[in-house]
Every structure is written in C-alpha cells, then in structure tokens.
Amino acid sequence: MASISSLIGKIGTLKAPRIITAFERAALVLENRVKTNLTGPVLSTRSGRLRSSISTRVREKDGRLAAYIGSGQRTGKPAVYADILETGGIVRPKNCQWLTIPTRQNMTGAKGNIRYRAREVPNGFFARSKAGNLILYRGGNKRPEAMFILKKQVKIPARRYLALSQAQGEQDAFNCLSAGLGALLEEK
C-alpha cells in the first residue's frame, strides 16, 4: 500500500480541493468512532451533550493537512467536562464549600436532568451515611429521599475516549483516505 504523502505527490495540486474532501472523510471516520465510544463502550450516555459536541475540523498548516477531532471543534464551545473525562483529575468546588452530586432519586426521565438544585430541595435536611458521606435528603410526609451527596472533592479517572478512538479507528481512517486518494490518482 502506497504511503499517503506519495499518493498526494502523484495526484498534484490541481485536485487540492478533492484531496481535502478525502481527508475530511477520513477524519469523519474517526469522529464516528469517538461518538460510538461515547455511547456505551467507554462512557455511558446520560444526556448526550458530550457526544453531540464532538466534531471535526480540517485545516491546512505549514503546507500540511491536520484534522482536529474533539468537543467543540466546529462551534468553539466544548462540553465543560470533555477534557477531564479524557485526562482525569480532581474536581473541587469553586464558589462554595461542597460539590453537590445528584443521586438517582433526583434525576428525571431518560435525559438525566435533575429535579431540584441543592438550594431548592423542599424540607431538606442533612445526615451522614454509614460510609461517612454527608447527604442532603428531601423530607416530608413520606420516607426521606437522598437527593445529593456532598463531597469536598471528587477524583475523576481518565477515560481516554479520544485516544482510544484514535487507536481503534486509525486503520479505518487510513483505508478511507487511501481509497479516496487512489480514486483521484486513477482519474489522472
């Protein structure tokens, strides 16, 4: 199989827009792989915001084509949690003492939206769990429901959804690009 750079050299600059199109198609193969991994194999989908923010941008830089695949590439508005899910790290509260982590009882429907913000929990009261976590409960006439777990910090493990997708889809993208460039070479 010929290398990509030698194929581009044989095609010439007359068909540069079609070379870019072939490169964009190959980049879309990788974008689709990322979105597939965000739908279950690597991360579970809760709201779909991260998956819908993934896009591809192809640019020419110093005479070379480069594909940028990630959150917010087209819009410039990445999902705020995209980087920490890729690299991992520690999340700490910025404007308050505690992080408020919603429990399943505080979620609505399939989209995973929360019913109440921590300040809005009706008849809210705090108690410690057997594990020592501080929990915000919703009180009332019924049995109390745990609405939020409060933490000083949370460690997010690296999920490497972009790096894994690149490794998994590299050969498919190469084959797509080779096929597109090979077709242009045959037209010559």
Q: Which of 105, 128, 102 is nearest to 117 (CA)?
A: 102
The residues with which 145 forms a beta bridge, in sequence order, are 138
Whether pLDDT at 16 is above 90: no
Q: Is the pLDDT score of 151 beyond 60?
A: yes
Residue 1's pLDDT band (boundaries 50, 70, 90)?
Answer: very low
| Among the ranges given (125-129, 169-173, 174-178, 179-183), the one the predictor scored with the smallest mean pLDDT | 179-183
Say if residue 6's pLDDT is above 80: no
Mean of per-residue pLDDT scores for the chain: 83
pLDDT at position 123 over 70: yes
pLDDT computed for residue 110 by the predictor? 61
Of residues 40 and 102, more confidence is placed in 102
pLDDT at 14: 45
Largest CA distance in the chain: 79
Can you list the positions of beta strands (E) in the chain? 54-61, 64-71, 89-91, 99-102, 107-108, 113-114, 124-128, 134-138, 145-151, 154-156
